[in-house]
Structure 1
Amino acid sequence: MEVSQRRPTRAQDVPDGELVPDELDIELFRHACSSILDEIELNLTRTAYSPLIYDYKDYVVGLLDNSFALLSQSELSLPAFVADLGPVVADAVGVVRAENLAPGDVLVSNYAAAQGHHLNNVVMIAPIFQEDRVIAYVAIRGHWADVGGLEPGSMSWNARDIHQEGTQYRGLRIMRAGEIVHENVATCLANTRFEEYVRGDLMAQLGGCQLGLSRWQERITSRWTCEEVEAFTSAQMGQSATLARSRVAALPDGAFTATCRTDDAGVPGTDPLQFTVRVEIDGDRMIIDLTAVPDQVEAPINSNAAVGDARVAYKSVIAPDHPTDEGLFAPLEVRTRPGSILTASKGAAMGHWNSTMPTVVDLVLQAFGTCSSDLAPAGHHASIGGFIFSGRRPDGSWWQSVDTAGGGWGASSRADGFSPLRTLSHGDNRSISVEVLEGSFPLTVEHVRYRPDTGGRGRYRGGCGVERLITTNEDAYLTTSVERTLDPPWGVAGGEPGVPGGVDVCVPGADTWVAYNKASSVALPAGSRVRIRSAGGGGWGPPADRDPAAHAADLRDGFVTKL
């Protein structure tokens, strides 16, 4: 069936024949772009080699316009990556220079100073040419299993400098004019311990870029001119901005703050860090002020993700279901200061960059909640809860399993907190399945179960934490990342806090469990048991107000054990 070639309406009274697209054309364009990303997502998870991408969903796919503003973003990827592809794409193109790009070029970049993440987050970038000029970019970020550095996985707590964490690629051409640059692929593979994973994921990202270019030609170029595409892009951004401003204007005006502590400065035994955020609402404008967060530290918990952190929280409140584009953030100003832990200077270690992000997002939501307890939920488990097992195979090659812990989310004024879910910066991405874990690695999952009585009590109960017990079948190493055990998930409106979590190890022949909340490459003899415990979410409202029938159901389902 032939699709009719619709064209936007031209307003005769507009000077210079400026295009004024109608509403239907804008929606057709928006959905054509999102359909391209949907197909890339499906293809990426089907072809990637690492469970981090095909199972865990540690990736993002985006379309950016030629000024590096986000046009559309994949729906199933990590919320932590909301509208943050622009700086790294702009930097990579700036290195190569836009005038030197040609159809069929593909660049690779993980440059920390531009991206602000750990070096594992590698972005592949393909310019989209239309009418002999760059009209847009397709960008795919995937978490590579290893890019070198001090230890397998490239996320060592012992790193004190970004150069100790692995290799940086900055606008490296991986494809030139449609031909793979084999020496550059070989360079990427020479800088990883997990060559099979990285080769497979690199090719999956490259295939996704090629698919995006092809689908753009089929669904965009064949239908609309560059002038029309630019008109649609501007109109789409304007619609999103209008929606966002109306949502912000509906909130109470004022300034609202929230504060909490982390466990330490990234090194066990150091003092906790105090995080304070401030949200200011004035009509249809919002400021999220992150200038009162701590200075950058030596440990690898720094980032340049302040804007991304704020955008995750902002979108969660303002427009959680609206498609993501740059226009959605038009009412938002993010205030930062150079040299903070969220705006670290060049060279700062960032291996565990995401360890503070759930806390920052949670604090922004808490600040929203101070202006109206109905507006935001109680605190969630707010810890990445990362656990990385690795080891050597008989042939000397490395194996590695990376996962994070799902825990309890905070209750709201309408419902109990859900569990188990990852952090607010993860969304609802999946755990590595038990079948994949046991089938791929010398590990046995003894149990995965709720931790009763860990959700904060209230009129509405916080979600329960989860306990996972894993036994090593061979000698292995363990790296962990657990946060927020000193300042647990808070309750709201009289609700009680949740119970924090942790990681404990019991080696063969021992009777005691030893805590390893932040640890790198802990040696585990075969038969070691590792217990990963996630926190429960905070409760909402006075516990005495809880419906007795709901409490009876909690007892029946094992969420609580106390009358």
Structure 2
Amino acid sequence: MTTEIDPITLGVIQNGLQQVCNEMDLAFCRAAFSPVIAEAMDRSDGIYAAEDGALIAQGDLGLPVFVGTMQYGTQAVIQRVSNPQPDDVIICNDPYLGGTHLMDVRFYRPFFYQGELFCWLANTGHWPDTGGMVPGGFSARATEVEQEGLRIPPVKLFKQGELDPEILAIIQSNIRIADQRIGDIQAQAAALKIGDKRLTALLDRYGRDTVAQAIAELRARAERLMRATIADVPDGVYTGEAFVDSDGVVDEPLKIAMQITVKGDEMTFDMTGSSPPCRGPMNSVIATTRSSVYLAIKHIFPDVPLNAGTYAPLKIIDPKGTFLYAEYPRPVSGCAAEVSQRIAEAVFAALTKAIPDRLFAAPAGSSGNFALGGYDPDKQRSYVMYVISGGGYGGHAGGDGLTNGCSTIGISKSQPIEVLEQYYPVLFERYALAEGSGGAGQHRGGFGINYRVRVRRGEARASMVMDHGRTGPQGALNGSEGGANTVRFDFKDGSTHTPLHLSKEQDITVRPGDVIDVCTPGGGGYGNPSNRDPQKVQDDIRKGYYSAEQSAARFPIKGSE
């Protein structure tokens, strides 16, 4: 008969598992070569169950969108990799096997304790390039996944600790800046090795059976707490929607139709009324679609601990026949960074009707994916620069939205511009708030940012897959939408170019002196703007957030409309 684990031991093991993941996160970002991993922290590490790949723990510094995808990716590895051995490391970036886009490369390491497989350690890192039509992989006009880059099935890159030179050669022969990727590969593998060492120490201290019992109990408790939290939400059917600007090929918006049924202690999510599969790269694989729902719920209920039990009460109907259930060979480069955030926005919009005091207006909801690839004649080497940027968060019942917050899907931050200028032949002439971009409301939205980057040396190719260029993030409870995303090319000869698809474009040739100007979205407003405290309206004018004319138009004095 199994004895109940005491609460002190349970708490210590819970924090011990978390610490293993955190140390993997830190080791990965500190050793990685790419600024997008080392500085922007576009990566994640976690521990997953041996039998079904279920999430056991994920690092505090990991991207939330990878919570679901790495779980499903581990399941795919378990199904496809036979006879894993100690010190093996499996690589995979296939989006249809529990992934996101091709640039998110996943490593999996089987963890053995006393000769038996106990669990899997896994991480994901965003590589700056994996081949394809354009530098950086964000091809706005791709119509099949092969145009987006190299697709790697689950294969052993390290076999019992030894790097396979033949598989490495295949990878390096199909990506740009291949000589720099070995640093990221070694960093990614080393992080898992550190996780192996730390987890071994935890099991040595408490024993295999006690740790396994703790994992099962933590999963059960997370499920009970999530069920209790859902039970406080009024039963009913709630609908919301969000729109993707376009797919990059056909200039028409894509609709995400969200229907959430709350019944007792469970929620059911139905997106089957969404737009059909699209030609361009804004399709979403099912792992990313599910993970987007999970992270949205975690935003709303942040106090529920994170493991597979957290999501047991969340039932997601597979939206087959829509662009949210991409199958080979649909292109998917925009799914993780952009479509995922529209899915979360639709969840927020639906549940605002059920629990408005716990919700908020829509955040910027775009990672601002911008890639620049070219040749630096001074350093005599090619480069691929990938930039992500923040935006405004939506207003909420407690106050105004956060300015220049990270994307909805993660904790990724903009790389320091000083680092980017050191690595690449560019100069950031402006990096400031996008004044006026916060949506009006009783509690206004936060502001996006405006940056201008000038090419200093050599010819380059610019591509971007962003969103919220057609409309800004939606407001809540009569709040106004936030400012939309804008992109403009200012060429040295005096001409300008605005992308046809507003926030999506590829292969724009830029030369020394040319400038790319980007304004990211502001958050939506929460509540009627006429109810805003007049002193706060004046403070915003004084700080330059809005002009007097903007403020008068957006924040009418109550009773004077």
Q: Which residue matches 2:443?
A: 460
| Correspondence 1:419 to 2:400 | no
Q: Which residue matches 1:536?
A: 522
Q: 1:382 to 1:468 in 2, by over 3 A?
A: same
Q: Which residue matches 2:540?
A: 554
TM-score by length of 1: 0.93
Q: Which residue matches 1:164?
A: 147
| Correspondence 1:39 to 2:23 | yes
Match of 2:205 among 216, 223, 227: 223
Identity of aligned residues (%): 26
- Verify the 8 A CA contact 1:404 1:422 in the aligned structure 2: no
Shift, 1:511, TM fit: 4.8
CA displacement 1:96-116 (0-9 Å, x = unmatched): 21xx11111111111222124
Letter in 1 for 2:80: V
> Structure 1: how far apart are the matches of 2:137 and 2:362?
30
For residues 113-512 of structure 1, the aligned pairs below 5 Å read 113-220=96-203, 222-267=204-249, 270-304=251-285, 305-318=288-301, 320-354=302-336, 355-394=338-377, 397-426=381-410, 428-474=411-457, 475-512=459-496
Q: 1:48 to 1:401 in 2, by over 3 A?
A: same
Q: Which residue matches 2:65?
A: 80
TM-align CA RMSD: 1.7
> Structure 2: how far apart are the matches of 1:456 and 1:303?
28
- Verify the 8 A CA contact 1:378 1:412 in the aligned structure 2: yes
Structure 2 stretches lacking a partner, 5+ long = 553-561
| Correspondence 1:94 to 2:69 | no
- Verify the 8 A CA contact 1:381 1:423 in the aligned structure 2: yes
- Verify the 8 A CA contact 1:460 1:541 in the aligned structure 2: yes
- Verify the 8 A CA contact 1:83 1:325 in the aligned structure 2: no
> Structure 1: how far apart are the matches of 2:416 and 2:152?
31
Shift, 1:402, TM fit: 0.7
TM-score by length of 2: 0.93
Instruction: Please state whether the residue corresponding to 2:396 is helix, strand or coil.
Output: coil
- Verify the 8 A CA contact 2:242 2:345 in the aligned structure 1: no
> Structure 2: how far apart are the matches of 1:37 and 1:177?
22
Q: Which residue matches 2:555?
A: none
Q: Which residue matches 2:559?
A: none
> Structure 2: how far apart are the matches of 1:151 and 1:530?
17
| Correspondence 1:517 to 2:503 | yes
> Structure 2: how far apart are the matches of 1:110 and 1:260?
28
| Correspondence 1:56 to 2:37 | no
> Structure 2: how far apart are the matches of 1:164 and 1:538?
35
> Structure 2: how far apart are the matches of 1:417 and 1:544?
17
CA displacement 1:418-456 (0-9 Å, x = unmatched): 111132113x42101111011111110111111222211
Shift, 1:397, TM fit: 4.1
Shift, 1:507, TM fit: 0.5
- Verify the 8 A CA contact 1:174 1:181 in the aligned structure 2: yes
Q: 1:197 to 1:303 in 2, by over 3 A?
A: farther
> Structure 1: how far apart are the matches of 2:480 and 2:492?
38
Letter in 1 for 2:169: A
> Structure 2: how far apart are the matches of 1:125 and 1:482?
30
CA displacement 1:234-283 (0-9 Å, x = unmatched): 1110111111111111111111001233222332x522222210111111
> Structure 1: how far apart are the matches of 2:466 and 2:197?
43
Instruction: Please state whether the residue corresponding to 1:83 is helix, strand or coil.
Output: helix
Instruction: Please state whether the residue corresponding to 1:328 is helix, strand or coil.
Output: helix
- Verify the 8 A CA contact 2:247 2:281 in the aligned structure 1: no
- Verify the 8 A CA contact 1:111 1:170 in the aligned structure 2: yes
- Greater mean deviation of Cα atoms: 551-560 or 520-529: 551-560
Shift, 1:93, TM fit: 3.0
- Greater mean deviation of Cα atoms: 341-350 or 487-496: 487-496
> Structure 2: how far apart are the matches of 1:544 and 1:196?
58
